[in-house]
Structure 1
Amino acid sequence: MQESEFDWTEGERGSFSWLDYVVFGGMLVLSLAIGIFYAFRSRKKSNDEFLLGSRSLSCFPVSMSLLASYISAIIVLGGPAEAYYHSVQWWVVCLSQVALPVVAGVFMPVFYELRLTSIYEYLELRYSSRAVRCVAGGMFVIQMLLYQAVVIYAPALALASVSDYPLWASVVSVGLIASFYTAIGGLKAVIWTDVLQLFILIAGLICIILKGTFDVGGFSYIWDTAVRNGRAGSQIFTYGYHPTQRHTVANIVIGAFVSKLYGYACAQTAVQRYSSMKSLTHAHLSIYLLIPFYTLIVSLTMIAGLVMFATYEGCDPLAAGLITKKDQILPFYVMDRLSSIPGLPGLFVACIFSGSLSTISSGVNSQAAVTWEDVFSRRPGCASLSKTTQAWITNTCLALGITWAASFKEPSPSPPVSGAILAVFVMGLFLPFANSKGAMAALIIGTIISQVFGLGPIILDMNPELLPTSTDLCPANLTLPTTSGTPISVSELPYPQKLLGLSYTQIAPLGFVVAFAVGIFTSFITGGSKGLQVERRLVHPWVRWSLPDPNKISAKSRLIPMTN
């Protein structure tokens, strides 16, 4: 690679052309058109049609919507940066999809047969406690609001880095567009826009990879460069379970396994979708279809990272001070290397926005169901409102909340509540003696512990160590920034600070274990389910044998003679 390839001068990098704006705007117009279409088509339909698509949807669009709901702009931007600066070891997250057959075979049959609009209604039925339902539902809504704020901020930052479009305008437009077509079109609009946006996302990544591979001379050069610099090859994989190490194969798989169990088994976003299916068979297929498509997208992000590293092997933009954060490497690469093809930067931004819009619309739709069912529906005068009015009330509140959260300069990630919520559902399904006191204690203590350890890296001011990069071929007229020292290593920390250095991948498993243990202990010391009639349909078939058969109870009661 020649030095001239890194001749960055003022004004030389590409910018948005009119065709780029057309490509990007076309994606937004199509998304709005789908929402308007379903708004007119279902304007006289019931709330069941609006929130659950009349429970008549087929497996493919729902599967793509499920995938799009969790493949956000964070992964599209962060995946390539991960491969570039840390290696492709993160690809083993695909192995965590062994959780999906567990979801399909264990959790899905119970929840599908209950036909619930809000999954948190299950907690009220199972534990006979509206408080448990409201706390879990509230945690979900708050988590999604904060997560969506990050999801909005990522594409807004990407667009601001390649055009003159203001950051605040991006934040507002993404939030309002997603909320608008979600509010008027309901679940069907969300699902079909998710399908559109998912394929735009895939197309954008493929175009970037193909153009980049051609420019550097082929994939063999890309792979050889990655192996030579510790980005790929069998030597990069670290085995064994080390909770304080950022990434090992075991850490990634265990952490992602728990997160996927929560995300697809007991999060409103997923349960609402497979509750909308024609049959349980279609619901099963929608889960299994996720596996190849998720693997494809993760693989594309890893390959994109290797393509960029092969391009900038001699002059890393982050080390050269041309970008300030590693997640900016993909937008920088697109404008630096691919802007010569009109429309490709626009496709890239459409790709990023597609990742965000799909996540936001799915989140808003699921939050609307939870907010309405768990909060507004029991208010006097609210139950009689039309579906359109209900949608506008809930979605407007959520849109304002998301936009407000995203307006901060750097929104924080969502709170780590997944482990605690998963534990409460597992207790409800498999431990008939678990009671509301145990469930509430599990939710609160599990979330607090997870939050404390989740904030550990912030408290200790820790940043992950990056693999070595080079500036040897940077232009002589480029002023290189001075380094600010080496990152703090967890192994160098004394106790108890070392405990706060827990890998981010282990926050969800920690929350689950703590919440599950606390829930069992609290239920045991408070009398279990004594005096509480647990319905057989609310526990898993594997443990129904431990509950009395209501048919036998009623038969015995008829044999007891009446006394005068």
Structure 2
Amino acid sequence: MEARHDFSSLLDVGFMAADYVVFGGVLAASLAIGCFYAVRGRNKGTEEFLGGDLSLSCFPVSMSLLASTVSAITVLGAPAEAYYHGVQWWYICCSEIAHLIVAVVFVPFYYELRLTSVYKYLEQRFASRSVGLVAGGLFLLATLLYNAVVIYAPALALASITHFPIWISIIAVGLIASIYTAIGGLKAVVWTDVLQLLIMVAGLAAVVIKGLLDVGSFQEVWRVAVDHNRAGPQIFTYEYLPLQRHTVSNIISGSVVMKMAYYSASQTAVQRYSSMKSLRHAYIAVVMMIPFYILLVSLAMLTGLIIFATYEGCDPLAAGFITSKDQILPFYVMDRLSHIPGLPGLFLACILSGSLSSISSGVNSQAAVTWEDVFSRCPRFARLPHTSKATVTKFLALGYGVLAVCLAFLAGNVGSVLQAAGSFSSCVNGPLLAVIIMALFMPFTNNKGVCVGLVMGTAVSLAFSVGPLVFGIKPELLPTSTSACPVNLSIPQPSENHPIRVEELEYPVKLLALSYTQLGVLGMIVTLVVGVTVSLATGMSKDRRLERNLVHPSVRRFLPA
């Protein structure tokens, strides 16, 4: 194939003044929103800081819920997935049916209780402080580790391609998100999430529009993708194969469980339901996320196909321009879009907005759990004036943000632990969903069963998550080519150390190659089975009178009068 790619312009690539203006403007706007709500709510207490004064409407909360789950890892990872593995991951959009289940089954229950901490509810439901502490502790740890990953991973990908200093990315994202969350509370988090989600959509849309203009048409992008098995009906596998990284059944089943877990069992979501002005707004907020999520995923996957069509015949990874597949989008932006003033800055803002929204939501939720489950129980803090209580929660939020930044700086020295930290969230969410199911729908379960089930479910799913790390199992990339690269380009030799394939392993070791999509499913099943079994073996509820409002309305009729 004739050489048709020229990368000489990369030698002069750099950020222009317009790029820094766009990037700095997004950070300044986020901070300004925090300052606005800090001034507006300066004389109010924790109800305003953690609950938004119960006055939030459906649109900002819906966008905030979505922004808190679509992180920078998604913005970078989805295009890389389409480029190197194909568009089969798009089927994650089918899991949006989980939103309808959450809206009908869980949202009315949570709204009725007006919960600030979902783990305090678990303590009341099982009449045991240990249940709330175990569940809340797992949430705090998982969120802290996830925030560190969300800060560090995008900063590393950006620094390796754009030469934007990694320490600036970490400090700018981590501290600014922590500051506006600490001073502005839930309202600041929600409205900055709206801004950052719009920036993410704008950034991806700009890349898609410019990419389609350069390639020529969507039809040409799709033709190239089909020819190279990135798209088309031939790439989809529909069977349920839990040891295979991606099949349609794996993706849908795993993502339905994870979305159910996030939107019905996580502090971040439940706190927002309780902050809304009416149940109708809560319904709409959950359902409204569906089209926006599909739009974001579709834009991200289309971006990957456009990049593949652009570099057909000269893959930047095989050619040695990048060292990780997650760097493909930053590389494309700096290679093809850097001559347009402000567009690289918009892309950088898009990536960092994904980090900001996830961190601020996590930090605010961590502060809520810590205040409600720990500090509010201490007489010294319980007697404080409302404004002083709010000040304590602000320092808690800031402290969690600073801690996440410190962990992000340490992440560069811990290697594969970074990947393990990212998996920890998935390993916790499935078991937490099982605990919520037992609390709402299984009145016979008790605190012993729930605690043992939660610990066992998390431990089992975590053990399976580290299997690929231990055995060096990595997903195979689809074939690429360097035949159209410049003739004077020195192409590195392919590595002789090929990753271990699942097919090469023997049972029972092979079971540790369980697809990451099934970690949450496994954790949920183990927690349910162990929790129910232990509850039955330890006398169930032991005739303890259960308050009717602590179980789901559908099972209240089965309780003794």
Normalising by the smaller structure, the TM-score range is over 0.9
Q: Is 1:522 the counterpart of 2:534 in the alignment?
A: yes
Cα 1:309/1:164, change in 2 over 3 Å: closer
1:310-331 CA-partner distances (Å, limit 9, x unpaired): 0001100001111000000000
Matches within 5 A, 1:130-149: 130-149=129-148
Residue 182 of structure 2 aligns with an amino acid whose one-letter code is A
1:25-69 CA-partner distances (Å, limit 9, x unpaired): 000000000000000011112211111111111101100000000
Residue 430 of structure 1 aligns with an amino acid whose one-letter code is F
Distance 1:483 1:3 in 2: 20
Q: Is 1:246 the counterpart of 2:248 in the alignment?
A: no
CA contact (8 A) 2:3 2:483 kept: no
- Residue of structure 2 in register with 1:532 after alignment: 544
Distance 1:396 1:470 in 2: 48
CA contact (8 A) 1:184 1:388 kept: no
SS of the residue aligned with 2:539? coil
Residue 493 of structure 2 aligns with an amino acid whose one-letter code is T
* Superposition TM-score, scaled by structure 2 size: 0.96
Deviation, 1:109, is 1.3
- Residue of structure 1 in register with 2:408 after alignment: 406
Residue 465 of structure 2 aligns with an amino acid whose one-letter code is G
Distance 1:213 1:154 in 2: 28
Deviation, 1:2, is 6.0
CA contact (8 A) 2:57 2:281 kept: yes
Distance 1:243 1:84 in 2: 23
Tell me how large the CA RMSD over aligned residues is.
1.3
Deviation, 1:155, is 3.0
CA contact (8 A) 2:148 2:404 kept: yes
SS of the residue aligned with 1:477? coil
- Residue of structure 2 in register with 1:3 after alignment: 3
1:510-533 CA-partner distances (Å, limit 9, x unpaired): 000000000000000000001322
Cα 1:470/1:164, change in 2 over 3 Å: closer
Distance 1:35 1:387 in 2: 19
Deviation, 1:9, is 3.6
- Residue of structure 1 in register with 2:449 after alignment: 438
SS of the residue aligned with 1:382? helix
Matches within 5 A, 1:34-49: 34-49=33-48
Matches within 5 A, 1:487-506: 487-506=499-518
CA contact (8 A) 2:212 2:306 kept: yes
Residue 396 of structure 1 aligns with an amino acid whose one-letter code is L
Runs of 4+ residues over 6 Å off in structure 1: none
CA contact (8 A) 1:146 1:414 kept: no
Residue 400 of structure 1 aligns with an amino acid whose one-letter code is V
Residue 487 of structure 1 aligns with an amino acid whose one-letter code is P
Deviation, 1:11, is 5.2
1:320-369 CA-partner distances (Å, limit 9, x unpaired): 11100000000000000001101000000000011110010011111110
CA contact (8 A) 1:143 1:414 kept: no
Q: Which has the larger radius of gyration?
A: 1
Deviation, 1:490, is 1.0
Residue 459 of structure 1 aligns with an amino acid whose one-letter code is V
Q: Is 1:391 the counterpart of 2:403 in the alignment?
A: no
CA contact (8 A) 2:45 2:390 kept: no
Q: Residue 493 of structure 2: which of 472, 482, 485 is its match?
A: 482
Q: Is 1:59 the counterpart of 2:70 in the alignment?
A: no
Distance 1:159 1:58 in 2: 35
Q: Residue 439 of structure 2: which of 410, 422, 428 is its match?
A: 428
SS of the residue aligned with 1:462? coil
SS of the residue aligned with 1:546? coil
Residue 63 of structure 2 aligns with an amino acid whose one-letter code is M
Matches within 5 A, 1:72-471: 72-383=71-382, 384=384, 386-407=388-409, 408-409=411-412, 410=415, 411-412=418-419, 413-415=422-424, 416-471=427-482
CA contact (8 A) 2:236 2:247 kept: yes
CA contact (8 A) 2:162 2:334 kept: no
Deviation, 1:484, is 2.2
- Residue of structure 2 in register with 1:473 after alignment: 484
SS of the residue aligned with 2:380? coil
Deviation, 1:422, is 0.8
CA contact (8 A) 1:155 1:349 kept: no
Deviation, 1:396, is 2.7
Aligned length: 548
1:519-550 CA-partner distances (Å, limit 9, x unpaired): 0000000000013221111111111122112x
Cα 1:481/1:162, change in 2 over 3 Å: closer
Distance 1:11 1:503 in 2: 37
Deviation, 1:382, is 2.0
Cα 1:356/1:233, change in 2 over 3 Å: same
CA contact (8 A) 1:16 1:162 kept: no
Distance 2:423 2:475 in 1: 19
Residue 523 of structure 2 aligns with an amino acid whose one-letter code is G
CA contact (8 A) 1:453 1:500 kept: yes
Distance 1:69 1:279 in 2: 22
Distance 2:476 2:162 in 1: 31
CA contact (8 A) 2:467 2:513 kept: yes
Distance 1:159 1:90 in 2: 23
Deviation, 1:400, is 2.4
Residue 483 of structure 2 aligns with an amino acid whose one-letter code is D
- Residue of structure 2 in register with 1:553 after alignment: none
CA contact (8 A) 2:35 2:180 kept: yes
User: Which runs of 5 or more residues in structure 2 are unaligned?
Assistant: none
SS of the residue aligned with 1:15? coil
Distance 1:271 1:216 in 2: 44
- Residue of structure 2 in register with 1:558 after alignment: none
- Residue of structure 1 in register with 2:11 after alignment: 12
Distance 1:353 1:414 in 2: 21
Distance 1:86 1:369 in 2: 39
SS of the residue aligned with 1:399? helix
Distance 1:179 1:387 in 2: 18
CA contact (8 A) 1:15 1:162 kept: no
Distance 2:242 2:340 in 1: 45
Distance 1:395 1:53 in 2: 15
User: Which runs of 5 or more residues in structure 1 are unaligned?
Assistant: 550-564
1:189-231 CA-partner distances (Å, limit 9, x unpaired): 0000000000010000000011011111111110100010000
Deviation, 1:10, is 7.8
CA contact (8 A) 1:13 1:336 kept: no
Residue 183 of structure 2 aligns with an amino acid whose one-letter code is I
Query: In percent, how many aligned pairs have the same letter?
Result: 60
Cα 1:83/1:8, change in 2 over 3 Å: same
Deviation, 1:162, is 4.7
* Superposition TM-score, scaled by structure 1 size: 0.95
